[in-house]
Chain A
Amino acid sequence: MKKFIVGIVTLAFFMVALTAAGAFELMDPDEYKAQVLADLGVSFELHEEISQAIAEPAQPFAVELDEPVVIGFATPSFDISDAWERWYWSIYYRLEEAGIPFTMNIQATSRHDAHDEQLAQVESLIAAEVDFIILGPTELDAQRVAIRKVHEAGIPIMILNFSRPFEGDEETLLYTAFDHEYGGYLSGMHIAETLGGEGKMAGLRMIPGTLDNQRFGGAMAVIEQTDIEVVYETYAEADRQMAYEATIDIMTAHPDLEAIYATSTAMALGAASALETLGLIDQVAVYGFGGTVDEIDAMLRGRMVGSVFRFQDDAGAVVGEAIQRYLEGRADEVPMSFMGDMVMADSSMTEEQFRELAERAHRYSQVEMGLGL
């Protein structure tokens, strides 16, 4: 049923998009995923098998352990959005569902670009002799040293929020994320459709780096094929207030702007607040990224037009599943890359439709954080 809903929403969007904007060539989601996985050398069948497995409740853990498994969890700051917290709870409850005894040592950096701080934390986790490390890198390329050190220590590591391994990495157990570039691509298609292929838009970007480049670049890959002009883009550091102020300035310079694409939730909400203050919320279509609780609320209230909705708990549940398979001696049944499902959500959807999406997306984390609706 849940798969069916996701399928219908995705299909509906693609049909509308392809009809309205026939000039754009958008791949079918499965085709896109298969191509990316093939490029990465990951078996599509294995990927789909684990994807199916995490859609179901966990199988009972088949191994007797003397002591609880110790897991080190290093994240790039908790306050970017609720995603990290949801991923944490989905790992937690997936492991608990399987009956795996465990403890977690959770770390976060003071800023999400504090590369050296995270390296230091990973080194300390290695010294603490944890059994597994789950790493949400501040930047994948900036944490190669940390990842290599974990490999050298012989500790299985799983990477959160990046789905594409860095060149030469063959030892990481799992990379799991929602492909940022593809999410940007979906956003770009929706913006193009909303603006009818022409008009003016602006971009609010996070922090210069891979993640932002992928989210923004994915959208631009579509926008560049249209007559839409990106009149201004700026970095607002995933900060609500900075985005608010930037939006005020942008609207002063470009009063005829029709869309703002923000690559994070906080910035999208900041932009929406600024537009409300200016009385321009109906003129400018605000797009965010992530389909977080706050964004859903904003879409239901008509403060935002669209956002890529991620099935958040998939990314965490697959980590729990990977740990279980590893402990059961089935590490070869873990694909090195896992790309979580995404669909484009927009303000035309009803609360009931959002609820159906959220029930699957937050099936584990809702225990602690609720559905978010």
Chain B
Amino acid sequence: MNDTTPAKSVQKLIARLGPGFVLIVVILVAAFMVPRFFTTLNLINVLYQSSIYIVLAVGMTFVITGGGIDLSIGSQVALISVVMSGFIHAWGWPVGLAMVVAIFFGMGLGAVNGFVITGLRMPDFIVTLAAMETFRGFALVHSAGKIWFDFPSSFRYIGITRWAGLPIPTIVALILAAIGYYIYHKTHFGRYTIAVGGNRTAAIYCGIPVSRYKVFQYVLMGGLCGLAAILITSRLDSSQATMAQGYEIHTIAAVIMGGTSLFGGSGNVVGSVVGALILGIIANTMVLLGVDYFWRLVVTGLLIVLAVGLNQWRENVMREASLEAVKETAKESTS
């Protein structure tokens, strides 16, 4: 018999909404507690603040779904940023050229990670942990103690301009998320990523070039680090070797909150975007509420656990619903 009690229906609705449900709850709570939350200025701020993490979260969704993890993204962003700044400031390169080189440089850094992981058969965690230190070290070698600032207006344009009311970094992030969604669901790359992360051995037996796709995932992540470096440098109008620390934790948190499995094989690009927005709104609301700094850390940590817990619960509800549907189908076919 199909259980259609109101409680079950609500459960299913919440489960179907997924991380979107958490986002709605967070927005409602923020709007209820902070009268100024729904001002245009503040909403634009939230979008600005979340854009960089959306870009990184899209890349990280592929990496984690593929069974990996990239702890070096903060260092990559810093290294790419200072190198690009050097091109623009010290070498006088045209801004467009420097930005293109920044993205390719990022892809190169990602390729290094990918080749070391697959070539030396080392765990992703260890390789990217080492890369985190190495890339940060190179950034410091390049620009220790130096802050690059006062970029050309054509470069700053990206960070400060709005099109149709939306900041350019947000537009870039949303377009990228749409492309990421398409790649994830509609291309071989996306499907192979899921296959590799879900069962690597099975993927090999199916003839999927696992190593190649692993490298591709890290190259994509690196390229997006390049894009994030452009966006953050343009937004801050400054660059420093010590910047972007902790980006990896924030990004991984957004991805996991969004419903991607930390163990690979299952991901959600839209969920990652939602995860980044949830973290952005939480941080913004804490400031608006004037929550004490130390308590802010406590509250943020607890909210992340709550959001991930809700997500876990949602997955269980969905799994139960699927099982019920299978049982129903089986009953119908036997009767």
Inter-chain contact A142/B145, CB cutoff 8 Å: no
B310 to chain A, nearest CB (A): 24
Contact with A along B142-163 (1 / 0, CB 8 A): 0111110110000000011000
Contact with A along B33-56 (1 / 0, CB 8 A): 000100101100100110010000
- Of all chain B residues, the one with the shortest Cβ separation from A111 is B245
Knowing A208-B144, A208-B146, A210-B147 touch, does A142 contact B240 (C-beta < 8 A)? yes
- B134: CB under 8 A from chain A? no
Contact with B along A101-127 (1 / 0, CB 8 A): 001111110110111110111011111
- A278: CB under 8 A from chain B? no
A276 to chain B, nearest CB (A): 30
Inter-chain contact B287/A121, CB cutoff 8 Å: yes
Contact with A along B258-301 (1 / 0, CB 8 A): 00000000000000000000000001100110101110010000
Chain A residues near B145 (CB-CB < 8 A):
208-209, 212-213
Inter-chain contact B41/A107, CB cutoff 8 Å: no
Bound form: Cα–Cα A110–B286 in Å:
14
Inter-chain contact B236/A145, CB cutoff 8 Å: yes
Inter-chain contact B245/A114, CB cutoff 8 Å: yes
Q: Which of B232, B290, B297 has the most CB of A within 10 A?
A: B290
Inter-chain contact B237/A110, CB cutoff 8 Å: no
Chain A residues near B52 (CB-CB < 8 A):
116
Inter-chain contact A116/B288, CB cutoff 8 Å: no
Bound form: Cα–Cα A127–B49 in Å:
13
Inter-chain contact B242/A207, CB cutoff 8 Å: yes
- Of all chain B residues, the one with the shortest Cβ separation from A237 is B242
A126 to chain B, nearest CB (A): 7
- A78: CB under 8 A from chain B? yes
- A139: CB under 8 A from chain B? yes
Q: Which of B42, B147, B245, B294 has the most CB of A within 10 A?
A: B147
Contact with B along A129-169 (1 / 0, CB 8 A): 10000000001011011000000000000000000000000
Bound form: Cα–Cα A247–B57 in Å:
40
- Of all chain A residues, the one with the shortest Cβ separation from B287 is A124
Bound form: Cα–Cα A78–B159 in Å:
29
Inter-chain contact B240/A129, CB cutoff 8 Å: no
Bound form: Cα–Cα A270–B284 in Å:
36
Chain A residues near B42 (CB-CB < 8 A):
124, 127
Chain B residues near A104 (CB-CB < 8 A):
290
Inter-chain contact A139/B287, CB cutoff 8 Å: no
Inter-chain contact B293/A115, CB cutoff 8 Å: no
- A128: CB under 8 A from chain B? yes
- B235: CB under 8 A from chain A? yes
Inter-chain contact B238/A144, CB cutoff 8 Å: yes
Q: Which of A110, A111, A124, A210 has the most CB of B within 10 A?
A: A124
Inter-chain contact B36/A129, CB cutoff 8 Å: yes
Partner of B238 from the list A110, A115, A213 (CB cut-off 8 Å) is A115
A87 to chain B, nearest CB (A): 15
Bound form: Cα–Cα A5–B243 in Å:
43
Bound form: Cα–Cα A111–B237 in Å:
19
Bound form: Cα–Cα A213–B160 in Å:
30
Inter-chain contact A78/B242, CB cutoff 8 Å: no
Knowing A116-B243, A120-B49, A123-B48 touch, does A106 contact B236 (C-beta < 8 A)? no
> Which 6 A-B pairs give the minimum distances between C-beta atoms?
A124-B287, A105-B290, A208-B145, A127-B42, A108-B293, A120-B49
Known: A106-B290, A120-B287, A129-B36. 12 other contacts (CB 8 A): A103-B290, A105-B287, A115-B238, A115-B240, A116-B244, A124-B42, A127-B41, A127-B288, A145-B236, A145-B237, A208-B242, A209-B242
Interface residues of B (CB under 8 A from A): 36, 39, 41-42, 45, 48-49, 52, 140, 143-147, 149-150, 159-160, 232, 235-238, 240-246, 283-284, 287-288, 290, 292-294, 297
